[in-house]
Amino acid sequence: MTPELADFLAPGVAADDVPELAPLVAARPLIDAFITLFRGSEAEVLLRLLVLREIGQEAETPRWSPDALRARFTYLDPVKLETVLKRLRDNQLLAYADDGNYHLSDLGRNAVAAIAMLLRFSAEEDAELGFLTAQLAGLQAVGSVTPEALGHLLSKLNDLTWHFEEAIASGSEFQILGARRRLSANERWLGRGTEILKSLLADPEVDFEIARIAQRIGLAQSRLARADASFQRALNKIEAQRVTLGASGISSSDVTAWLRGLDAAAFAAFAEGALLVVPELPLLAGGHELIDRAESVLSDEVRARETDTALPPPDAAAVNAAPEQDDLALLEHFARRLDILPASAPLHTVVAGGGFAPASYRLSLLALLADGESAGPADGPVGEFMRLPVDVHFGDTLVPVGEDEIAAMSDGRVIPRPEAPT
């Protein structure tokens, strides 16, 4: 037995007493049409949508004879096709004319158009914002913008703001970058929404409720416009805390990104041979072993030694008077090479040599040198390196190298400065 609407209401409450139900009750034909389309199994729903969309796509000849439909859907079972056509016809989604031809009813065409719009946006990132903005633009074009349509857009913008704030609060570089890409994908919809709001608020006769929600949408869009700066500040904070693995030039973020690209099988391969399962062995002891253990337990000397909690006597620890020093041999050797560089040289020829790790270290030194003398300390070997009479220029392209463990690197040149005339 199918439950009635009154069965879902509290005792003593009638459907007419709930004003929120009025627009839904008035739209029962449309709701019945969607119930017809989406009731049943997934296969049945897909079949009805397929037939309805194919019939509605023929704009030049919108009427179909039964033979033409059977020829169009030769890949469907004939009995199933007749069942679908009957269901669509019985529920006023498909009309059967006096000439014996099928065509979409007005209700069916509206349903097909709504589904086509949803499918259009489903292929894009953040389809909801694009669909809501396009729907609002259409309502504005015909002069029928409603507070409900504006409220849906405001709710979506607030949801995006919450998502972006949560990504920043997480402190995760990957979540922040993902949220930033999502914001970039929505920029055109935010811009289109701003144009609609300007047009609405410029109308002196706009409804008060519409103007109120439009102003709140403008505030939400302003918060989203400031989100990009918040993303950059959070990324700068993460950059300051980034850990570099020795002199390899590889950071912890690089390792994390590489691990995130692996599948479960690759992770399982890392554990192969690294874990050892030792079975639990039962205690095997003979009489002699038990007697030895009993003698040590019953000995007063052993018990006194085990219960003695006095600290050991102090002892002089070895003192290393020489402070630890960083190994700057590679820096000093590279500084001497640059100091006697005869002429301008490509970046990859200056950096390469000794493998990937030394080359990465030299490239980081040149990047520091390109930032200017103020970027480094004033004293020490690094300060002397920063005062070398050499200019470094980086390009925007990659140069293939293919040797010395380097596949490609940034284009650039290292140029000695001419000596000043005496």
User: What are residue 243's phi and psi, to 5 degrees?
Assistant: -105, 130
Mean pLDDT over 172-200 rounds to 80
353 secondary structure, DSSP code: S
Higher pLDDT, 379 or 48: 48
Distance in angstroms (rounded) separating the CA atoms of residues 327 and 212: 66
Tokens, residue 17: 């007493």
| Spatial separation of the C-alpha atoms in residues 170 and 339, rounded to whole Å | 46
Q: List the one residue out of 338, 364, 362 whose CA is nearest residue 352.
A: 362
Q: Is the pLDDT of residue 420 over 70?
A: no
Cβ 359 vs Cβ 353: under 8 Å: yes
- What local confidence, expressed as pLDDT, does residue 177 receive? 82
Q: Are 247 and 357 in contact (CB under 8 A)?
A: yes
Range name among 115-124, 194-203, 231-240 with the lowest pLDDT average: 115-124
What is the pLDDT, as a whole number, of residue 258? Answer: 79
Alpha-carbon gap, residue 298 to 293, rounded angstroms: 9
pLDDT at 63 over 70: yes
pTM passes above 0.75: no
The two beta strands, 406-416 and 390-403, are antiparallel
Amino acid identity, position 175: Q
Give mean pLDDT, residues 182-200: 80
Say if residues 131 and 124 touch (Cβ distance below 8 Å): no
Q: What is the mean pLDDT of residues 290-308?
A: 70
Bridge-based pairing state of the strands 345-346 and 94-96:
unpaired
- Does the pLDDT value for residue 97 go beyond 60? yes
Which is it for the CA torsion 270, 273, 279, 280, positive or negative? negative
Q: Determine which of 66-75, 130-139, 213-222 has the lowest per-residue pLDDT on average.
A: 130-139
Express each pLDDT in 247-285 by its tens digit.
Answer: 666 776 777 777 777 888 887 787 777 766 666 666 666
- The phi, psi pair for 133, rounded to 5°, reads -65, -40
DSSP 358-385: HHHHHHHHHHHHHT-GGGS-SSHHHHHH
Band (pLDDT 50/70/90 cuts) for residue 333 is: confident
User: What residue has token string 């079972």?
Assistant: 77
Question: Rounded distance, CA 218 to CA 68, Å?
Answer: 52
What confidence score (pLDDT) does residue 353 get? Answer: 81
Residue 284 is predicted with a pLDDT of 64
Whether 143 has a pLDDT exceeding 80, the answer reads: no
Among residues 358, 340, 363, which one has the least CA distance to residue 412?
A: 363
pLDDT at residue 176 in the model: 83
Q: What is the DSSP letter of 64?
A: B
* Residue 107, pLDDT above cutoff 80: yes
- Could you give the CA distance from residue 325 to residue 360 in angstroms, rounded to a whole number? 22
Per DSSP, the three-state class of 350 is helix
Cα end-to-end distance, the chain, whole Å: 106
How far apart, in Å, are the Cα atoms of 227 and each of 156, 162, 233?
A: 15, 11, 10
Q: Under 8 Å CB-to-CB from 126, ≥6 apart: which residues? A: 160, 182, 185, 186, 189
Question: What is the spatial distance between Cα 156 and Cα 126, in angstroms, rounded to a whole number?
Answer: 10
